[in-house]
Structure 1
Amino acid sequence: MPTPEEIQRELKRFMKERFGDNVIVGIGPTGGTEPPAGQFAQSQAQKPGRSETIDQILQFNLRPKEVKAYLDRFVIEQEDAKKALSIAVCDHYNHVRRAIERKDKEEDYVKQNILLLGPTGVGKTYLIRSIARLIGVPFVRADATKFSETGYVGGDVEDLVRDLVRAADRNLELAEFGIIYLDEVDKIARGEGMVGRDVSGRGVQTNLLKLMEDTDVTVKSQTDVAAQMQELMEMQMRGQRPERKTVNTRHILFIVSGAFAGLEEIIRKRVSRSGIGFSGEPHNGEHDREMLRKVSTDDLIQFGFEPEFVGRLPIRVVCDTLDANDLYRILKYSEGSILRQYRSSFDAYNIDVHFTDEALRAIAERAAEEHTGARGLVTVLEKTLREFKYELPSTGIQNLEVTEQTVKSPHTSLNDALQEVDQIELRFCRDQVNAFARGFEERYGVALTFNETAVAAIWELSRQKGLTSANLIQDLFKDFEFGLKLITENTGQREFELDAEAVTNPEQWLSNAVRSSYTEPRKSPPASMPDDLDAPPDVDPMEDQQ
């Protein structure tokens, strides 16, 4: 039988190997574990009382119109969805407020969990996230496809509540009033012809039933090894099993959504059967989204959901497909427009981006062709501006105007922008060259002229070396004053034209010019130089320098 000290050593070694230094195991005088000095007192002191967010829920007095007005700032269209959500959220959190105020008088209340139906990219997630931000409650989002029935490989639906606890910064009281959003719920509908146990469909629906209604979820999962080890250490420290912390789901609002492809046909068949008769009207040409508005419980059951699961989603909201005009309005008017993100990306490089109205319409039209809702805007913008984001930060450009032509032909527009930048930089380079020439003449009495090939060579070389034109010129021609003075003494020449060769190989160019000065006839004696300084024609300039 190992001693307590041996158990502690083995436990400490295991925890370090398994979890690194993030978990500390201390050994107390009685052989039990105890936190480092001051840690327990600190944790006790940090236990929050009633949080500010709980007080905010207690003061909840929003009206449905106020909630919708807030959503209008971020979500374009979806009028019916925003109205239905505003009403449901106000009803739910008014109930929550009353429940907090009088815990001993819980009233019967049917929780208004919500089912959102609509294609991808129409703003379902954004609607729920905006509502959570307005109310100030924790919010988590997950895909239903990652879960499986308890006991099988896959996520446990109770992890949704634990994620909510983490989103609430471990504030259990606050987590009990949060929002859980489960997307792609249509993927867990029981498929036709399913043979055997459906652990990722019907099994998940069954596990969600109590969760969506009223149940207690332990904060520490049974499959969480770290949590189990922590519980073991607490039990050894206190000598008794610690009280398990739980979160009650009674006041957690559940919102599930999905595209529900194929549900329209189920509804259409039902409506067509009920419309047979003298007064019946054909429904074959009716739009899919109008069909979804007529969804019934039987339709959802036929789609593959359990009756009990459908019954726990009393509020059903249909989100409309977004057309090109809707996408244009999202770009232009939504406070959460993706354009803000792109402007911020360019602003990091001190580039101001402006989108013309025609460009926004062209982006919206192309995004509509993607058939992915507002997500298509990101696809089109990324395709349009990717090369701009790569090239422009390395240039001196400070303004970029995105036009309709930019959207239709981004590569051509980028080349035009770069050529314009090149011309601006070339003009600036020429100004720097001329300034150097003026200064050189003032100091040494020798006039320099740089032809177009020389200016172009200086500009290209400055880009390659990452230097300014002024710094590059100073470096290239730092010794020219001595060589040109010698040439002036030999020939009387005071004006020199420099070409590209003088830029790319200045030492060789100057050496050749000095050698030639000893064989060329003297043009005129310099005013400040005596005639006897003229070197004889047969003197080697290199010997003269020695």
Structure 2
Amino acid sequence: MESDSGEIRPLIPREIVAELDRHIVGQAAAKRAVAIALRNRWRRLQVPEELRDEIAPKNIIMVGPTGVGKTEIARRLARLAQAPFIKVEASKFTEVGYVGRDVESMIRDLVEIAVQMVRAEEMEKVAGQAKAAAEDRLLDLLLPRVPAKEAEGSPGTDAGSTDTRERFRAMLREGKLSERTVEVEFKEAAVPVLDLAGLGGGAPEGMEGNLQEMLSGLFPKRTRRKRMRVAEAIGFLEKEEAARRVDTERVKQLAVARTEQAGIVFLDEIDKIAGRESLQGPDVSRQGVQRDLLPIVEGSSVNTKHGVVRTDHILFVAAGAFHVNKPSDLIPELQGRFPIRVELSSLSKGDFVRILTEPHGALTRQYEAMLASEGVRLSFRPEAVDRIAEMACEVNERTENIGARRLHTVMERLLDDLLFSAPELAGQEVTVTRPYVDERLAGIVKDADLSRYIL
């Protein structure tokens, strides 16, 4: 579905959950919540316009220990949404007036992502025209046209040059001219390089890039020439021709509209800015960031270089481990802006076994594929996978519980020798058994100082 107000792929909730299930084990409640929220974006655009503005997104806050899938859900959601999506760390922001990133920068970054998306779509629409124009420009470089005065009085010149040109066009399409070199002429803005690092306190976020763009319109473009292979030149010229055919103002308008109607912001580590009211220490800054977030989450206008963006209908999904504090430590006004609260459960040994075997990109499959590139056939016995999961759980219980991330540590330790000597084992088959696991991982569980194994 495409409209000026945004374009959202109409996946139904069951399909969204099924796709998330391919990559993430468990956490059904969180998957259902984001699936419903995504579908509601599409539903809202089907509602009559007079009622559409009244429907506000129901923001979500995901609460759960580290390593259980909060960030992974965000990563997969970005691919499914096919809408402007940005993941930001709440802990990176500072209160207005302090050096650092202000919360409005995430909306500016979201618009930039939308501009790139819309520009890519618009360039795709004119790809056929751009390809034909690029071919003609390349043929002009390979076969310079005969000047009109020289061509006069030369019977058959036009027909002959046309035939030659078409023969070269066929050779170009067949890739027979790929290794030839041509000199391509293009224009670039002659803008001086700006270094604002010397400003007191540093340059504000994004100022350098914005000034650079403003100055680009004041300086005349200079012509440059560059020698390159035909295979490289055709791609370069296609992009240039496509960009020439795209209406920049239309791209900006569509991008702003898409951001407003379909944008999604994932606020990770929101627990790091939560804290009880205090008159000193870091809590003052944390509460300042929360207060700055409030107007953006509830709906306000943000100035960007592409236009003013209203945040009323942008969906915000927040996530945090809340080990030290709890969601109620957020200021009440901000809590109220996240009406849907989802708890993610800790992972058990059974979950670890599933994580190692079920997902499309399961860790065991990743290592099998990597070692296959060296000619080594790696396989894991079910009892070995069970033992790996058991040991990962045990280490999590004895030290910091970092969830599924512990599996990366354990697998690297387990396959350390094999990964080092794989080039000398080409053509061999290695089967990981339970004794193999016990032999190589015994030290991890017994060692009291496990700091080197913690990610």
TM over 0.5: yes
Q: Partner residue of 2:67?
A: 121
RMSD: 2.7
> Pick from 386, 403, 407: which aligns with 1:377?
407
- Residue 339 of structure 1: how far off its partner (Å): 2.5
- Residue 246 of structure 1: how far off its partner (Å): 3.1
Q: Partner residue of 1:182?
A: 267
Contact 1:148 1:155 in 2 (8 A): yes
Q: Confirm whether residue 253 of structure 1 aligns to residue 315 of structure 2.
A: yes
Q: Are the structure 2 counterparts of residues 94 and 199 from structure 1 closer, same or farther at C-alpha, using a change threshold of 3 Å? A: farther
For residues 387 and 345 of structure 1, the distance between their equivalents in structure 2, rounded to whole angstroms, comes to 14
- Residue 378 of structure 1: how far off its partner (Å): 0.6
Q: Partner residue of 1:32?
A: none
> Pick from 43, 68, 73: which aligns with 2:22?
73
Counterparts of 1:320-339 in structure 2, within 5 Å, are 320-339=345-364
Q: How many residues align?
A: 297
Q: Confirm whether residue 91 of structure 1 aligns to residue 40 of structure 2.
A: yes
Q: Partner residue of 1:459?
A: none
Q: Which amino acid aligns with 2:355?
A: I
> Pick from 296, 302, 321: which aligns with 1:211?
296
SS at match of 1:181: strand
Contact 1:111 1:213 in 2 (8 A): no
For residues 90 and 74 of structure 1, the distance between their equivalents in structure 2, rounded to whole angstroms, comes to 20
SS at match of 1:246: strand
The runs of 5 or more residues in structure 1 that have no matched partner are 1-49, 221-243, 265-299, 413-546
Q: Are the structure 2 counterparts of residues 367 and 196 from structure 1 closer, same or farther at C-alpha, using a change threshold of 3 Å? A: closer
SS at match of 2:88: strand
For residues 316 and 149 of structure 1, the distance between their equivalents in structure 2, rounded to whole angstroms, comes to 26
Contact 1:144 1:188 in 2 (8 A): yes
Q: Which amino acid aligns with 2:438?
A: K
Q: Confirm whether residue 351 of structure 1 aligns to residue 366 of structure 2.
A: no
- Residue 53 of structure 1: how far off its partner (Å): 11
> Pick from 128, 131, 135: which aligns with 2:77?
131
For residues 53 and 125 of structure 1, the distance between their equivalents in structure 2, rounded to whole angstroms, comes to 28
- Residue 54 of structure 1: how far off its partner (Å): 4.2
Q: Are the structure 2 counterparts of residues 79 and 397 from structure 1 closer, same or farther at C-alpha, using a change threshold of 3 Å? A: same
Question: TM-score with structure 1 length normalisation?
Answer: 0.50
For residues 325 and 275 of structure 2, the distance between their equivalents in structure 1, rounded to whole angstroms, comes to 13
Q: Partner residue of 1:513?
A: none
- Residue 312 of structure 1: how far off its partner (Å): 0.6
State the Cα deviation string for residues 201-232 of structure 1 (Å, max 9, x = none).
Answer: 11111111121122232334xxxxxxxxxxxx
Q: Are the structure 2 counterparts of residues 341 and 120 from structure 1 closer, same or farther at C-alpha, using a change threshold of 3 Å? A: same
Max Rg structure: 1
The runs of 5 or more residues in structure 2 that have no matched partner are 119-254, 443-455
Contact 1:181 1:256 in 2 (8 A): yes
Question: TM-score with structure 2 length normalisation?
Answer: 0.59
Contact 1:152 1:199 in 2 (8 A): no
Q: Are the structure 2 counterparts of residues 137 and 343 from structure 1 closer, same or farther at C-alpha, using a change threshold of 3 Å? A: farther
For residues 52 and 341 of structure 1, the distance between their equivalents in structure 2, rounded to whole angstroms, comes to 41
For residues 105 and 411 of structure 1, the distance between their equivalents in structure 2, rounded to whole angstroms, comes to 61
Q: Confirm whether residue 409 of structure 1 aligns to residue 439 of structure 2.
A: yes
Q: Partner residue of 1:160?
A: 106
Contact 1:53 1:136 in 2 (8 A): no
- Residue 361 of structure 1: how far off its partner (Å): 1.0
Q: Are the structure 2 counterparts of residues 53 and 250 from structure 1 closer, same or farther at C-alpha, using a change threshold of 3 Å? A: closer
Q: Are the structure 2 counterparts of residues 359 and 196 from structure 1 closer, same or farther at C-alpha, using a change threshold of 3 Å? A: closer
Higher relative contact order (CA 8 A, sep 6+): 2
State the Cα deviation string for residues 143-192 of structure 1 (Å, max 9, x = none).
Answer: 21111111102221122223323433534244342321111111111345
Q: Which amino acid aligns with 1:64?
A: P
Q: Which amino acid aligns with 1:256?
A: A
- Residue 320 of structure 1: how far off its partner (Å): 0.3
> Pick from 132, 138, 141: which aligns with 2:87?
141
Q: Are the structure 2 counterparts of residues 166 and 350 from structure 1 closer, same or farther at C-alpha, using a change threshold of 3 Å? A: farther
State the Cα deviation string for residues 362-413 of structure 1 (Å, max 9, x = none).
Answer: 111122223211111111111111221111123434322222222222399x
Counterparts of 1:442-481 in structure 2, within 5 Å, are none
In percent, how many aligned pairs have the same letter?
A: 39
Q: Partner residue of 1:451?
A: none
For residues 36 and 378 of structure 2, the distance between their equivalents in structure 1, rounded to whole angstroms, comes to 39
Counterparts of 1:266-345 in structure 2, within 5 Å, are 300-301=327-328, 303=329, 305-345=330-370
Contact 1:175 1:247 in 2 (8 A): yes
SS at match of 1:334: coil
